[in-house]
Amino acid sequence: MKINRHRLTGIPQTPSQNFDERPEPEDISLLVIHCISLPPGEFGNDYIDQLFCNRLDPGQHPYFEDIYQFKVSAHLLVKRDGSCVQYVPFDKRAWHAGKSVYEGRERCNDFSIGIELEGTEFVAYTDQQYIQLAIIIQALLENYPKLSTQRLIGHSDIAPGRKTDPGASFDWQRLLGLLK
């Protein structure tokens, strides 16, 4: 997988308007793994795209009434079948981490890349997701010199008590084994 102009080549680009400029564009130094499903526990629909692109209809599901106005995004989504969508170029600040701290540094969106996995904290992620995630991370490591496997964390690590993703169902050792 290649990165050209801060975008993965060969995957769909679904631009979100929920991003802005990074304060230090060269400081891309953290990878944050998330999970998302909409409605919770349901997979294989386009509600995540709708949320990240501000098109989620609150009338489609009762859960959406509480979230449809959120202005959020991630750089990437890896679906259950391993296919990917990119919403925000890597050199821009996606709005994925919220209130967050890493090694004493606040506002992790400023210096991180956010990757969402279609899933929940309690359902095993798929083989295809692990394989695709490893391929993506390898491309990111090759293109952004401040990134490393030591700076690969879950959303729960930077927002403890507020976030739990990617959860107990995510196998960190499996991912790291694929990156060797």
The active-site residue out of 42, 103, 116, 118 is 116
The answer to whether residues 176 and 149 touch, using CB atoms and an 8 Å cutoff, is yes
Residues paired with 94 in a beta bridge: 19
Q: How confident is the model at residue 147 (pLDDT cuts 50, 70, 90)?
A: very high
Residue with tokens 């995004």: 73
> What burial letters (b/e) apply to 55-67, b meaning 16+ CB within 10 Å?
ebeeeebeebeee
Name the token pair of 172: 């960190």
Omega prior to 39 cis, within 30 of 0? yes
Where residue 117 sits, what CATH number does that domain have? 3.40.80.10
- pLDDT single digits (tens) 5-30: 999 999 999 999 999 999 999 999 99
- pLDDT (average), residues 165-177: 97
- pLDDT single digits (tens) 61-113: 999 999 999 999 999 999 999 999 999 999 999 999 999 999 999 999 999 99
Distances (CA, A) of 80 to 1, 41, 48, 108, 119: 18, 12, 13, 26, 7
Report the number of distinct structural domains present in the chain.
1
- The pLDDT of residue 50 is above 90: yes
pTM of the predicted protein model: 0.97
Per the structure, the complete domain to which residue 92 belongs is given by: 3-178
42 is catalytic: no
